[in-house]
Structure 1
Amino acid sequence: MSGIFISFEGPDGAGKTTALNKLMPLLQKKTDQEIVLSREPGGSPISEKIRKIILDIHDEEMDPRTEALLYAAARRQHLIDVILPTLEANKIMLSDRFVDSSIAYQGGGRQIGTKEVAEINDFAIDGHLPDLTIYFDVSPSIGLSRIKKDHEGAMDRLEKEAISFHDRVYESYEEIVAQNPTRIKKINAEQTPDKVVQDALEVITNRFPNIFNKGE
């Protein structure tokens, strides 16, 4: 496959989605390759159906392992329907979350084991890791305060979890970043939105200078 795969990770309220919407046109100006933007859980019809089940605030009795398996299932379908076809077509794949989210949220946040969740997802992704991952670093307290403000109090099932859950997610992310220094690059997501976008743009263009060189 000749395309490149970039994922974007971070705790709730890190501002990934907002930054990605601003980042994508800036990247597109710098390359002739088509860029495809997607998200997880979701990104394809079947995966979006699974997303609704996972994030439904009424599914409070969902077992943590069931949740982890549903995320892995949605990821597998997203990989088959969107990610692999994009890469095979020599396009650039940007995904709002990928496998690291499950390891942090279900493995760490739900306390069912980062190793165990990683193994579930190893089966799902079959070796297809991103070429680069941008990690948006924001403290749980700041991230959750942003969500409460931006969502006007409406939060999904995971966002509504106690601060202790989000602290564990954050700690797990820090471990994942430390274990993958080549693939994962951290940026400070507590800066202004424009600065966050600029930092992400620099990381990507510096990593792939032969691809993002248009107009330079």
Structure 2
Amino acid sequence: MARGRFISLEGGEGVGKSTQLAALAEALTGRGITVVVTREPGGSPNAETIRTLLLEGDDTRWNSRAEALLFAAARSDHVESLIKPALDRGEWVLSDRFLDSSLAYQGQAGGLGIDAVRDLHRFGSADFLPDRTLVLQLADGEAAARARVRDGHAGDRIGSRPPSYHAAVDAGFREMAAREPQRVRLIDASGPAATVTARLLYALGDLLP
């Protein structure tokens, strides 16, 4: 049995990840591919417990290092409990966020450094990486407006951080794409949802059966 593929969908707040994850899963299923949809932080029972610790409370609940360690711990369990077994069964795994979010949020925007956070991943998950990472991108104003409509409030403790933080997150994602252009692809998230889904499928063209 051929190994499945692991695809992560990334981007800042309000870029449409949830909508596109569902659309991409439907499109792949229509091609006869068995798809597992998951998310980070979370995805496995233990990781979902850590998700609650990470996203609830005020912004001072965790320092940057503790936050990065919690993400790495959740990811380690997610990889071993859900992602790798599904891939071994020949299924495709689509994840709403993965390593590149930690690199962009805690590494770049949080000031820990991209390389330091990557070292945590090398230890926690043996540097396990997606086959392809698709980063949805929107102009700052449009993304912020979408996030306000979606949340109806300030959002969770990470999403509610100031615009300067989220600008640094975007810079982090662009840095990942520059470092690993074969794995990480920037995707224009503007326009009709169906058009964005088509862009995602095009970016996966070389991986599709």
Same fold (TM over 0.5): yes
What is the aligned residue count?
Answer: 208
- Which residue of 2 is the match for residue 142 of structure 1? 142
Q: Letter of the aligned partner of 1:207 in structure 2? A: D
Superposition RMSD in Å: 1.4
- Which residue of 2 is the match for residue 8 of structure 1? 9
- Which residue of 2 is the match for residue 207 of structure 1? 206
Distance 2:80 2:46 in 1: 11
Q: Letter of the aligned partner of 1:105 in structure 2? A: Y
Distance 1:108 1:191 in 2: 28
Structure 1 residues 172-211: aligned runs within 5 Å? 172-204=172-204, 206-209=205-208, 211=209
TM-superposed CA distance for 1:202, in Å, is 2.1
Distance 1:112 1:129 in 2: 20
- Which residue of 1 is the match for residue 160 of structure 2? 160
Q: Give the direction of change, closer, same or farther, for the CA distance of 1:125–1:79 in structure 2 (3 Å limit).
A: same
Structure 1 residues 53-72: aligned runs within 5 Å? 53-58=53-58, 60-72=60-72
Of residues 13-22 and 184-193 in structure 1, the stretch that sits farther from structure 2 once superposed is 184-193
Normalising by structure 1, what TM-score?
A: 0.91
Normalising by structure 2, what TM-score?
A: 0.94
TM-superposed CA distance for 1:150, in Å, is 1.5
- Which residue of 1 is the match for residue 18 of structure 2? 17
- Which residue of 2 is the match for residue 214 of structure 1? none
TM-superposed CA distance for 1:86, in Å, is 0.4
- Which residue of 2 is the match for residue 30 of structure 1? 31
Distance 2:169 2:66 in 1: 18
Distance 1:139 1:74 in 2: 30
TM-superposed CA distance for 1:38, in Å, is 0.4
Distance 2:191 2:60 in 1: 34
CA deviations on 1:159-204 (whole Å, 9 max, x unpaired) are 1101110011111111111111111122101222221111112222
Q: Letter of the aligned partner of 2:12 in structure 1? A: P
The answer (yes or no) to whether the contact 1:23–1:201 under 8 Å persists in 2 is yes
Distance 2:185 2:108 in 1: 20
* 1:125 maps to 2:129: no
Identity %: 35
TM-superposed CA distance for 1:154, in Å, is 4.6
The answer (yes or no) to whether the contact 1:6–1:133 under 8 Å persists in 2 is yes
The answer (yes or no) to whether the contact 2:121–2:127 under 8 Å persists in 1 is no
Unaligned runs of 5+ in 1: 212-216
Distance 2:157 2:206 in 1: 35
The answer (yes or no) to whether the contact 2:10–2:17 under 8 Å persists in 1 is yes
Q: Letter of the aligned partner of 2:51 in structure 1? A: R
The answer (yes or no) to whether the contact 2:174–2:186 under 8 Å persists in 1 is no
- Which residue of 1 is the match for residue 91 of structure 2? 91
Q: Letter of the aligned partner of 2:173 in structure 1? A: Y
TM-superposed CA distance for 1:114, in Å, is 1.1
TM-superposed CA distance for 1:142, in Å, is 2.3
